[in-house]
Structure 1
């Protein structure tokens, strides 16, 4: 048997999964492979400009979305020891940390703000309508202690932040009002003032993410697209979002973390903008975007991209191995490409074959 397949073999008990318990109430476990170096060390090599020992995978990171943030609870995405996920009986929605009510919708498996009564009716006077929470009052020590089994491993810790910039403002103002404010000269200054304050707030939050959990990657949720294209033009993004994205990227870097943009929608026309924002990692939505075009437009930027495998569970082993060879030849050789998807399931053996091929390639 291929030596590299033996390395891919999993240990009897892997990593505790933050993705909820099984029907019997027991913790689930995620695979731990017999890698020659840890996933955390392998990712460090990628981001320091060195050659990885094997191709980095999204599954090599630990997802973590602490329930100490009200947003994660009310949106049914608390990934921790006491998880709260779509379909759980405790998913009832509620108020986020800015007092916005999120309504859990069982049929969609997520929470949304009911439009029509925006918390900020006038962005030029936003200070009159909301206050920022004092996160120093939250029990960070307690949360860190409760979640040690998830956070203290040899994998990179990929910590979530729901409702980034654009999504946060939409939750406070409603979608139409935000899109108008981005282009209305009388409202732009109010948006920029709010985003500057939000960046100050996120800077403190990111500091605590690193201090209490040892987070390595900030997975920043901020959807910019629709099913047909971006919500706004590249020029609007450059003026209204990029300066503040850069501030958040800088907050990550000064805390020895990397910034991942989770940005759903058809956003290939915003690729250059996302590169300009300094994004370290991007996972585009694979069922809407031209992934090859995104790769070609960003491959020289140093941005680490997560691309879909191009396989499905019904393919034969021969087809899957061939797909892994094609992936490695087209993308994997850069060392800045990993495998990850947002919706479509891959064949169970794809990552195994890609691992073996990448070990052989990077050992040269």
Structure 2
């Protein structure tokens, strides 16, 4: 009898068209309600995202991030304190840090040791190399959405020049550090859409954002590794473009997209990771455990047939909010119970 594959093996094999042994659950960090090893975990140069902490702080470009307890200390650029007012003046404002003296091997060791202290084992968990939160999002963090979107429409050549500058920096970091982390795949991140529609058109994406996503993805493709994409909102209009630079995994696939149609169109060429958006009755404090777990089961029943699906859903809130914590516990229990009792019969 063959040994059961690790979560890492199950995850990576899905990109080869091999179904997982188990119903897997995506997470953005250790899940306190699960005893199963994490399927994936992010890795990459820690200096790039030191501001992503409960205290917030300035990123490497000078944007000040603030956090709130009610969002689980998720950071966002400080409102009305944007560093770039005029896109044509970006060269006077945006300056990449000097990385000439970095010891990349030591940095990678320190970063991976930090993950090990969290209980992450690269033999069991797929390491996803990731550097930043997206070229579109960086522009919005520099300028805010009003000025940032206007810049995209009014000064596309200046936006493109800025994107090339950012991309040159990040791909230099990537070239110097990628192999030290020994990742299993790369994840490209960029939230280019709101719930109802993309923020930009497909043509704008192809001209101003896609080339730089593709440039980063190439490091994985050159090594025979897979590519994942993180994009929230109604972003299905970009999937064909993602596929051009090798994307095989997409998270968090939200329900504002035609997830069944996407699964049917791409089959095992695209692993859909998502499908559960806690809204409406589900986020009310009085929502019962029974109803919440039923909603989780309904999502899995709907999206699991045919394979190429991984569950993803999580509620973010204050760390001491028992309502949120209970629902994340119920969510995890429902997924793992489904895995034991129903997974194989529903594939």
**Correspondence 1:98 to 2:98:** no
**Correspondence 1:315 to 2:290:** yes
Number of residue pairs the alignment of both structures matches: 309
CA–CA distance in 1 between the matches of 2:26 and 2:133?
Answer: 21
Q: The residue matched to 1:97 in structure 2 has which SS?
A: coil
CA–CA distance in 1 between the matches of 2:229 and 2:200?
Answer: 17
Name the structure 2 match of 1:333. 306
Q: The residue matched to 2:306 in structure 1 has which SS?
A: helix
Name the structure 2 match of 1:168. 138
**Correspondence 1:201 to 2:138:** no
How far does the alpha carbon of each residue in 1:223-267 deviate from its partner, in whole angstroms, 9 at most, with x for none? 112233211222222222222222222123224543322222233
| TM, length-normalised to structure 1 | 0.69
CA–CA distance in 2 between the matches of 1:46 and 1:129?
Answer: 44
Q: The residue matched to 1:169 in structure 2 has which SS?
A: helix
CA–CA distance in 1 between the matches of 2:292 and 2:136?
Answer: 42
**Correspondence 1:232 to 2:177:** no
CA–CA distance in 1 between the matches of 2:300 and 2:249?
Answer: 23
Question: More deviation in 240-249 or 40-49?
Answer: 40-49
Residue 101 of structure 1 and its aligned partner are, at CA, apart by 1.7
Name the structure 2 match of 1:137. 102
Cα–Cα, structure 1 residues 276 and 143, in superposed 2: closer, same or farther, change >3 Å?
closer
**Correspondence 1:249 to 2:220:** no
Structure 1: gaps spanning 5 or more residues: 1-33, 77-90
**Correspondence 1:69 to 2:37:** no
Q: The residue matched to 1:249 in structure 2 has which SS?
A: helix
CA–CA distance in 2 between the matches of 1:319 and 1:361?
Answer: 16
Structure ranking higher on relative contact order (CA contacts 8 Å, 6+ apart): 2
Structure 2: gaps spanning 5 or more residues: 28-37, 283-287, 316-326
Q: The residue matched to 2:247 in structure 1 has which SS?
A: coil
| TM, length-normalised to structure 2 | 0.72
Q: Retained in 2: the 8 A contact 1:103–1:114?
A: yes
Residue 282 of structure 1 and its aligned partner are, at CA, apart by 0.9
RMSD after superposition: 3.7
